[in-house]
Amino acid sequence: MDNVFLNKDIFKGAYILMLKNLFNKKVESATTYEKYAALASLLNKQLDDNYEKTTKYVEENNLKKTIYFSMEFLMGRLITSNLMNSGYIDVVKEAFDDWGIDLNEVEQAETDAGLGNGGLGRLAACFLDSAASLSLPLYGNSLRYKKGFFVQRFENDQQKEYPDPWLEKPFYWEERKEDEAIQIPYFGYVKDTKLIDPVWIKAVPYDVKVVGANNGIVTTLRLWSAEKSQWHKYHDDEYLKMVDKITESLYPDDSTEAGKTLRLQQQYLFSAAGIKNVILNHKKLGRDVRDLPKYYVFQVNDTHPTLIIPELMRILMDEENLGYDESWDIVTKTVAYTNHTILSEALEKWNIKIFRNLLPRTFEIIQEMNRRFKIVLEEAKVPAEKVYTMQLIGANNVRMANICIYGSFSVNGVAALHTDILKNIELNDFYNLYPEKFNNKTNGITHRRWLLHINHELTDILNNLLGTKWQTDLPQIKGLEKYKDDKKVQNQIKEMKLAKKRALIKKIKADTGVTLNENAIFDIQIKRLHEYKRQLLNILNVIHTYLRLKSDNEFKKNFYPQNFIFGAKAAPSYVMAKGIIELINKVSHVINNDVETNDLLKVVFVENYNVTYAEFLFPAADLSEQISTASKEASGTGNMKFMLNGAITIGTMDGANVEIVQEAGKENNIIFGLSAEEVNNIYKNNGYVPRKIYDQDQRLQRVFEFIRKLTPNPTHFDFILQNLLTSDYFLVLKDFDSYVSAQEKANYLYKNQDLWWKMVIMNIANAGFFTSDRTISEYNQDIWKLDTIKI
């Protein structure tokens, strides 16, 4: 196909035709959505050429590929990044300008592809962008959830979940590949390694193009969808309902046995279909299955795709007739595992009964793997009590992380501290057995989306000072550092912030009705709602600050106005997390409606925090809340997005905060609280009594009293307060004093504007390390060893 984005006139002709074909409309009469649809459709079609060229190059040159298996890909909108990366955005702008169409408005007609919950899913999306932009043949593999994660609404301040209708309108970036569908069996029973009478379903792939930045590379994210299979005889209601459920939504309720089975069905679907797909292609190209490790690396994003390990064993042994040892050799040269969790109670495990019922042959294979692994452990003289915790099956559970470590040639953590904790504490027994497998890959973010796309103001400042080379080599923004004391540059950055605050204020006003003061400090905590992330600590300080403003005039006089903004979804069955959302909402109403403090303090919890919301929030922030209990946050990536957009971190020495401080300087961020080591000592010594802290701190007592008066029923939030008083596993009360001081320091620092903007510049200038281009290069050098695509 000729390039219809070559110049504005050719583009205009093609665009007019597309509008006519799709909607029988002219430019003047098309709705914003129709304008969007025509543009997306045209661009997606144009990208076919580069997709084919890329595919052809990879095949003909026998390039090794990485398949990135992930339950989540939190892509957000694709229109802008695809326009920017393809290099066609200027032509489109010129044409739209002639017509008086606002491209920005058209872009906003796209619904987020919200196939994820948080950091793990957004990391996967950033990795796709970076790998394609570095010309590396990396392909995503996941599920096409018809109803995505969920849309969050607040009703009576409580989170309610609604299905995300993101596929109700066509998703222009996907292409169904019916002829590559794969039959997947569940249930049944095993006779001589053969699965008898299974329930068959059909997995149909949909490919979403992934566009490299200015290099002509187009790879894909493959999303599998469950459909009824002609291999299955009885298409009764029960069967059809089951099929429909499998790719309905991400993280369905798994409190029941049926719910657990469904989640495992999902995991098996994209793991088995992904692997079978690879093997079929591999063989179609005339390659030997024994050569699989030469052509593929399977990167496992957390344990959700663990089943690729036994599944690959099954195919090699049962279908390709290789022996166990040869098969195992292939598997362990092909699979690599990334760990994203420290909380050991969060490590995935599956009840044996549920597992064996759904995947009987897979279970047999894992049993055999386990038998052999125990021999390895015995030979290595691992003591019996350790064998018990390390084995692949134990306490009636299949242990996914253990399978991953045993079955992978690489095990990586996602920030320096995290990897150290894995090696020395959480996975120490495995580390002692396989030290060579363990490595660190500190996370990153794609600066194309998280700076170039969302912050044109800052991009312009950097371009004017440094030229444009930093755009393809982010560490070069270090060049900004020499302007740290330059009043003119400081002022430009300040103006950038103000512009971004205004855009956010407008959105928040429209969404919530709350009016925010543009001259206030924007203090933002946006991330999954979880106790370890300590949104509670944040709101306790907010309440304390409010009470102080009402009772301490000296404090009030010196207090610089501050807006506290939250955004988070809570897992639907996570009662405590949902309680915390309700608490923050209730606190916000009291504070926002108090005329005594109104111009000084506001609290907003934005509804349905997602990638698009994030794109407004990060650039508007002055303070980045990264206040997890030290040792619990594997890395964090929001912290990097804030830093790159000129916010200062108020945080604990946890996850990648450690590296942020290393890069930007401790004096340019506000660090507080217990260290990871101190936290672990508290756990070990078992002597923490939160009640004592409470009894000795009047501030906490007043805050608790305030919470009890929030609702007519004073015990409404007792499940939260009692938990703090009796267990406080995440050490909220322990860090309260130190956090309050850190907040006071932040408020005080902001008043010294010269110093503040200097600190901000130091953070931006030293954010170069956190581009995911660096992360992906490291993965490639140490783990994947892929050659680049040259077209």
Selecting among 340, 423, 530, 569, the annotated active-site residue is 340
Beta carbon nearer to ligand 26Q, 302 or 531: 302
Selecting among 356, 528, 586, 734, the annotated active-site residue is 528
Residue 557 is among the residues annotated as catalytic for this protein: no
Beta carbon nearer to ligand 26Q, 41 or 637: 637
Q: Give CA–CA dist 790/494, Å, rounded.
A: 42
Residue 146 is among the residues annotated as catalytic for this protein: no
Binding mask 397-416 for ligand 26Q (x = CB under 6 A): -----------------x--
Whole-number minimum distance, CB 342 to ligand 26Q, in Å?
A: 9
Whole-number minimum distance, CB 423 to ligand 26Q, in Å?
A: 17
Whole-number minimum distance, CB 263 to ligand 26Q, in Å?
A: 7
One-character DSSP codes across 736-763: HHHHHHHHHHHHHHHHSHHHHHHHHHHH
SS3 of 515-568:
CCCCCCEEEEEECCCCHHHCHHHHHHHHHHHHHHHHHCHHHHHHCCCEEEEEEC
663: contact with ligand 26Q by CB under 6 A: no
Chain center to CA of 308: 21
Q: Which stretch binds ligand 26Q (CB under 6 A): 113-121, 161-169, 266-274, 425-433?
A: 113-121
3-state DSSP assignment of residue 201? strand
Determine phi and psi for 597, rounding to 5 degrees: -120, 0
775: contact with ligand 26Q by CB under 6 A: no
Whole-number minimum distance, CB 410 to ligand 26Q, in Å?
A: 15
Whole-number minimum distance, CB 635 to ligand 26Q, in Å?
A: 4
Q: Which stretch binds ligand 26Q (CB under 6 A): 13-21, 204-212, 561-569, 631-639?
A: 631-639
Q: In 559-599, which ranges are continuous DSSP H helix? A: 575-592
Whole-number minimum distance, CB 619 to ligand 26Q, in Å?
A: 20
252: contact with ligand 26Q by CB under 6 A: no
Q: To 10 degrees, the CA torsion angle through 197, 202, 203, 207?
A: 160
Q: To 10 degrees, the CA torsion angle through 274, 279, 284, 287?
A: 140
Selecting among 245, 263, 276, 533, the annotated active-site residue is 533
Determine phi and psi for 188, rounding to 5 degrees: 80, -170
Selecting among 220, 334, 612, 637, the annotated active-site residue is 637
Q: Give CA–CA dist 15/91, Å, rounded.
A: 12
Beta carbon nearer to ligand 26Q, 202 or 423: 423
637: contact with ligand 26Q by CB under 6 A: yes
Q: To 10 degrees, the CA torsion angle through 545, 565, 457, 474?
A: 100
Beta carbon nearer to ligand 26Q, 305 or 636: 636
What is the footprint of ligand 26Q within residues 326-385 (CB under 6 A)? Answer: 340, 346, 348
Burial of 287 (0-12, 13-18, 19+ CB in 10 A): middle
Distances (CA, A) of 311 to 4, 144, 732: 44, 21, 43
Burial of 92 (0-12, 13-18, 19+ CB in 10 A): buried
Beta carbon nearer to ligand 26Q, 718 or 782: 782
Burial of 183 (0-12, 13-18, 19+ CB in 10 A): middle
Distances (CA, A) of 109 to 31, 75, 103, 500, 507: 10, 15, 10, 20, 15
Chain center to CA of 750: 31
Out of 633, 663, 735, 773, the only residue in the binding site for ligand 26Q (CB under 6 A) is 633
Beta carbon nearer to ligand 26Q, 159 or 443: 443
Beta carbon nearer to ligand 26Q, 457 or 663: 663
| Residues forming a β-bridge with 410 | 336
634: contact with ligand 26Q by CB under 6 A: yes
Selecting among 641, 734, 758, 774, the annotated active-site residue is 641
Whole-number minimum distance, CB 652 to ligand 26Q, in Å?
A: 13
Residue 527 is among the residues annotated as catalytic for this protein: yes
Q: Give CA–CA dist 568/535, Å, rounded.
A: 9
Whole-number minimum distance, CB 359 to ligand 26Q, in Å?
A: 17
Listed in sequence order, the residues at least 6 apart from 626 whose beta carbon sits closer than 8 Å to its beta carbon are 633, 636, 638, 639, 649, 650, 651, 652, 654, 655, 657
120: contact with ligand 26Q by CB under 6 A: yes
- Other Cβ atoms within 10 Å of 476 Cβ, number: 17
Beta carbon nearer to ligand 26Q, 253 or 737: 253
Whole-number minimum distance, CB 450 to ligand 26Q, in Å?
A: 14
Chain center to CA of 223: 17
271: contact with ligand 26Q by CB under 6 A: no
Residue 528 is among the residues annotated as catalytic for this protein: yes
Beta carbon nearer to ligand 26Q, 308 or 317: 308
Q: Which stretch binds ligand 26Q (CB under 6 A): 27-35, 116-124, 578-586, 713-721?
A: 116-124
Beta carbon nearer to ligand 26Q, 123 or 611: 123
646: contact with ligand 26Q by CB under 6 A: no
Beta carbon nearer to ligand 26Q, 33 or 574: 574
Whole-number minimum distance, CB 76 to ligand 26Q, in Å?
A: 15
Binding mask 434-453 for ligand 26Q (x = CB under 6 A): ---------x----------
Beta carbon nearer to ligand 26Q, 546 or 609: 609
User: Please, are residues 15 and 25 in contact by the beta-carbon 8 Å criterion?
Assistant: no
Q: Token pair of 101, please?
A: 């169409």
3-state DSSP assignment of residue 711? coil
Residue nearest to ligand 26Q (CB): 119
Whole-number minimum distance, CB 725 to ligand 26Q, in Å?
A: 27
Out of 635, 645, 766, 772, the only residue in the binding site for ligand 26Q (CB under 6 A) is 635
636: contact with ligand 26Q by CB under 6 A: yes
Out of 115, 123, 542, 670, the only residue in the binding site for ligand 26Q (CB under 6 A) is 123
Q: Give CA–CA dist 526/76, Å, rounded.
A: 16
Q: Give CA–CA dist 17/27, Å, rounded.
A: 10
3-state DSSP assignment of residue 18? helix
Where in the sequence numbering do the catalytic residues fall? 340, 527-528, 533, 637, 641
Residues that bind ligand 26Q (CB under 6 A): 117-120, 123, 251, 302, 340, 346, 348, 414, 443, 633-637, 655
